[in-house]
Amino acid sequence: MDIRTVESSIVKDKYYVIDHSSGLTIYVYPKPGYNSSYAIFGTNYGSVNTRFKVDGGEEIVTPDGIAHYLEHKMFESEDGDAFARYAKTGANANAYTSFEKTCYLFSCGDHFEESLEILLDFVQSPYFTAETVAKEQGIIGQEIKMYDDSPSWRVMFNTLVGMYQKHPVRVDIAGTVESIAEITAEKLYQCYNSFYNLHNMVLCVAGNVTAEQVLKIADKLLKPNEKHDVEPIFEDEPYEVGQEYVEQTFAVNIPMFDLGFKEKVGAEPITSQQAAYNDILLYALASPSSRLYNDLLNSELINDTFGYERLEGPGYAAILFGGESREPKKAAEVIKKHIAELKQSGVPQEEFERAKRAVYGSVISDFNSNDSIANVMVDMHFEQRELFSYVDAIANATLEDINARLDEVLDVNNCTLSVVTAEK
């Protein structure tokens, strides 16, 4: 077992990285004097991982939505469910499945060790039967229908469907009512045994805890795993978007839109530096203090729902701008025109400085939040980035760095506009 200390002269803090003998990587970020703690246990397995090989064997194909389904079923056991156990410690527990990962988490004010024991125990103890799997289909089916009826969810997913021609990021995380009907206990165990291997997982803890506390529980409960090579399979995705425009009608008062810019994806995730430059660039471009935002607002093309986000995972990356607009096509054209002009002239020095200060301040303030620290560490672990290197990259970013990054992203000739319009 190897324990490393990672320190930051900027944040004036440190955390520990433990390569546990079980195969699990553990991060512990102590915050002495804090009244609470937060732990998150994640696996590098999300909704896009429906095709894969294990140790070079035959290709395995699973139903859409099975990663999310598995997340729901993990809380059950022969002796009850994990939420009932957490109720006795007073911890607040939850879980989520995204495109690229599944995570289980809790926060607590006290009884940390007991709560961590629950987390490590139930995530390593799958229990599926034909009866319990069938029972969940109706519950998740209702969840799927709820998302189908959500205009904000549909406008985002329609953007992905328009941008991506083959990649499974275009498929809803929960799957469809038809696809989850194909899920069996055997398929759940197959996915669990493939992806819920400690070598493919990470535990991140932040708050009023010590590395010794976490190690004591880890040594007691972690079950050593033989490492397996899990190879995700994705079809070759063209760089070009599949559709430039997607529209759906909904019962909305104001139309909604997402303008998605598809990126070229390399063999490896982007670096900590590139991630930092993205954040500064997008703040300079589209934050409420930006020229673009205020031009759109003053022209009554957007309201305060306007925002942006960047999506990234295995085989996909995109930047989305969106919100409510009574003239979404016109708003999209203004955004594209502004980006094209910025690529020609470069980001103004003053706007760069303002964005850099704002992003830096926001990131530093996040170090006061246990859940922000732990959640970001999970993301960065799976993205092969390091937290303090990201902070350093923000602090040391130059205008030249940001303009160079702008040249690499936001291709105005390779984007999809998704619109949800009011029913007539």
Whose CA is closest to 28, among 89, 84, 112, 87? Answer: 112
Distance between CA 236 and CA 161 in Å, rounded?
16
Dihedral over Cα of 371, 126, 121, 224: its sign = negative
- The active-site residue, picked from 58, 59, 71, 235, is 71
Q: Find residue 204's DSSP bridge partners.
A: 27, 40
Alpha-carbon span 24 to 381, nearest angstrom: 12
Alpha carbon separation from 204 to 199, 381, 390 (Å, rounded): 14, 10, 17
234 SS3 class: coil
In DSSP notation, 101-155 reads: -EEEEEEESS-HHHHHHHHHHHHT-----HHHHHHHHHHHHHHHHHHHT-HHHHH
Query: What are the tokens at 317?
Result: 């990356």
Question: What are φ and ψ of residue 320, in 5° steps?
Answer: -120, 135
CB atoms within 10 A of CB 219: 12
Distance CA(407)–CA(190), nearest Å, equals 43
386 is catalytic: no
User: Does residue 118 contact residue 89 with C-beta atoms inside 8 Å?
Assistant: yes
Sign of the torsion formed by the C-alpha atoms of 182, 187, 191 and 196: positive
Active site residues: 71
